[in-house]
Chain A
C-alpha cells in the first residue's frame, strides 16, 4: 500500500480539522459555464490533505456537489448515470429506506432542503470569528464574480464553548468525536480501537476503499464509482444531515427516569450513550467517569464488548454499541468492517448549561456529516439497520434511544445486574430526542476531478 497522494485529496476527507468554527454555504448554479468558471476560481482556495508542516491554517475551504449540481454543470449523461442510485436519487427520495418518516419526514424539513435547489456545499472552517468572516467574504466575492452561483442559505456551526474554551461536547453534554476509523495510507495519529479488529485482538487500519473511491475496499474490490475513473478516484461521498436536538425533552426525560433508576442521572445518561459525558467508555469504567481513560488515546477507544455479552456494563442498545458494534456480533468484528463511516461536523445553536432553562423550540443541534465510499452500504445500512431497527443486536424492533425516530413509542432496555448501583431499567414511551431538519447526499471530488469539472474535461469514454 503506497502512500496516498494527499495533495489530490480534499483535506476535509483526510482529517477532522479541529477548527472551532464553520459555515456551510449552499449554492445554486444558474448556468453551466458560469458554474464551471466558479469551480475554476475556487480551485485555488480548496484545502487539500497535504501535511501542515508550516503549521495549521487559520481557515479551510472545501466543496462538494449534489447529483443535481453535477447535472447543472453539464457533466456528460454517461457520467451522471454512472453514479450509484442512492446518490442520483438524493436523501429525500431515500426517506422510506432511512426511516425518515413522521417527525423526521421531508415535509417537516427546512425550506432549503424541501426545495431540491441545492447544487453545492461550500464548507469553510476557521479558527476565529474574524478569520471565518474574512474567508467567507472572500468566498462570496468569488461567487459573485461572474455570477457563478446563488447563495441559497448558509449554516453556521461551532464547537460548544464551556468556560471560555472550545470543547468537543454536543448539546446533550456528551463528549463527541471518538469513533472515526483509521484507513490504510491515511496519515493520522491513530489510536487502538479506531480501525478494524484483528483475530489477535489488535486493531489495524481499514482498507482505503472504505473511504476513498479508486482504492480496494474491505472486500478487495474497487468501490462502485462513476466513470471516468479519474473523476471518481480520490473522491468520496458525503451525507449531510441537520439534526435538531430537543434539549428540554432530553433533560426532562433523563430527570423523570433518573427517579426510577438507582444508578443516578449521570449513569443513566451514560447508559444511553455507552460513554460517560466526559467520554469515558462504560465498558472500561462502568461505575464512574475516569478522565485518565477518557483523555488517554491508548485507552479511550480501545475496548470490545466480548466480555460483556449481557450488556451489564454497556447496554446492548447503547448508542455507541449500536453504531460501532466492534466484536459484539462475533466473527472478530468482520461483520462490521464494511459498515463504517467517517464523521465530520459540529454543533450549531446556543449551548445551554445544565440547570439553565432550555426549550426544544430553540434552533440547536448537530450538523452530522458522514464520509463513505458507498452511501447505501455504509451510512444507509447503519441508519436503517442499527439506528432505526434492532434485529442485528437481538433487540427486536427497538431503535437507538438517542437517534431513533420513536414518535413516542418504542423502548430502551438498560441491562443491569443485582447490585443496587447498577439496576436494570426499561425506558418506554420514547420521544424523539433528535429530529431531522434536512440534508442531502454530496460527492466530494478530488482536486484533479475539480479541475476536470471546471475545464469541461469529464469524458466517460
Chain B
C-alpha cells in the first residue's frame, strides 16, 4: 500500500511554481531564497508544527538527461517538491501545519500555482491533496513510533543516563528512594521540543561533508 508504513505516513507533494516572466526575481528563486535561510533547528516550521519526523523541500527546475547522445527533455513547469515522513494522515498532518505555521507555509507556497493560503484549512488541504503523488518507498528508520513517542523516548534515555551517571555507587536503599522520586518527576516532565536534543552544530549541513 502506498503512503503508509505502520504508523508512519510518507508524503510527497509536487506543487507547480508560478511561471511569470514579469516577476523579478522569479518565483522559483524567491522560494530558493526563503528555503536557504529557513531555520533547521528548534525554530524550523517543521519542529514548531506537530508530527514531522523529517521533511525536505526542493525546487526542481527541470529534468536533465545525462548521457550520450544528449537528449533534450523538459518538465511543463518548475516544481516545489515537498517530501516528509509524518504522523497521522495527510489531512491531520496538513491541518496541524496550517494551524501552527501558516505564515511560513504562505511564504513558500504563495509562489505556487493555485495556492489558496493556509487560513482556509479546507481549501489548503484540498490544494495539497490535489498536488500529492503516491509515495511507495520512503525512509523507514523510524521504529514505527510517533514523533511524541520518539521525543519521549529520547528524553527518557537522556534522563535515565544522567540519573545513572549521578547515582553510581550509591547505597541501595537511598538509590531506590531517589529512583522512585526520579520516576515520578520524569513522568510529569513536559515533553521536550522537537529538534531540541540534537548536538549544537556550527555548520548547517549536518552530515554533509563539503
Contact = CB atoms under 8 A, between A and B. Distances in A.
Contact of B164 (A96, A97, A384, A426): A426
A376 B205 CA distance: 14
Nearest to A257: B168
Interface stretch (B78-86, B101-109, B195-203): B195-203
B165 A96 contact: no
Interface in A405-424: 411, 413, 424
B198 A381 contact: no
A411 B161 contact: yes
Contacts of A384: 207, 209
Interface string B25-44: 00000000000000000000
A377 interface: yes
Interface string B186-210: 0000000000011100110001011
A97 B161 contact: no
B169 A389 contact: no
B207 A385 contact: yes
A220 interface: no
Contacts of B207: 384-385, 391
Contacts of B157: 396
A377 B197 CA distance: 27
A380 B199 CA distance: 18
Given A389-B199, A397-B198, A397-B199, A428 B209 contact: no
Contacts of A85: 210
A391 B197 CA distance: 13
Contacts of B169: 259-260
Contact of B209 (A381, A396, A397, A413): A381
Contacts, number: 39
Contacts of B161: 411, 413, 426, 428
A425 B164 CA distance: 8
B14 to A, nearest CB: 30
A307 B106 CA distance: 53
B152 to A, nearest CB: 15
B162 interface: yes
Contact of A376 (B154, B164, B198, B210): B210
A427 interface: yes
Dominant secondary structure at the B interface: loop
Residue of A97, A101, A380 ringed by the most chain B CB atoms within 10 A? A97
A interface, size bucket = 20 to 34
B165 A380 contact: no
A94 to B, nearest CB: 10
Given A411-B161, A428-B162, A428-B165, A376 B209 contact: yes
A177 to B, nearest CB: 27
Contacts of A260: 168-169
A96 B199 contact: no
Contacts of A381: 209
Contacts of A97: 203, 209
Interface in B147-203: 154, 157, 161-162, 164-166, 168-169, 197-199, 202-203
A449 B157 CA distance: 54
Interface string A106-136: 0000000000000000000000000000000
Interface string A380-412: 110011000101000011000000000000010
Contacts of B165: 411, 426-428
A377 B169 CA distance: 43
Interface string A197-223: 000000000000000000000000000
Interface string A91-109: 0000011000100000000
Given A397-B198, A411-B161, A426 B209 contact: no
Contact of B202 (A96, A397, A425): A96
A252 B78 CA distance: 61
Contacts of B164: 424, 426
A257 to B, nearest CB: 9
Given A96-B202, A389-B199, A397-B199, A426 B210 contact: no
Nearest to B202: A96
Contact of A377 (B198, B202, B209): B209
A259 B125 CA distance: 61
A427 B161 CA distance: 10
Contacts of A101: 202
Nearest to A262: B169
A384 B206 CA distance: 10
Contacts of A413: 161
A170 B164 CA distance: 32
20 contacts: A96-B202, A97-B209, A101-B202, A259-B169, A260-B168, A376-B209, A376-B210, A377-B209, A381-B209, A384-B209, A396-B154, A396-B157, A397-B197, A413-B161, A424-B164, A425-B168, A426-B161, A427-B165, A428-B161, A428-B165
Given A260-B168, A426-B165, 8 more contacts: A86-B210, A96-B203, A384-B207, A385-B207, A397-B198, A397-B199, A426-B164, A428-B166
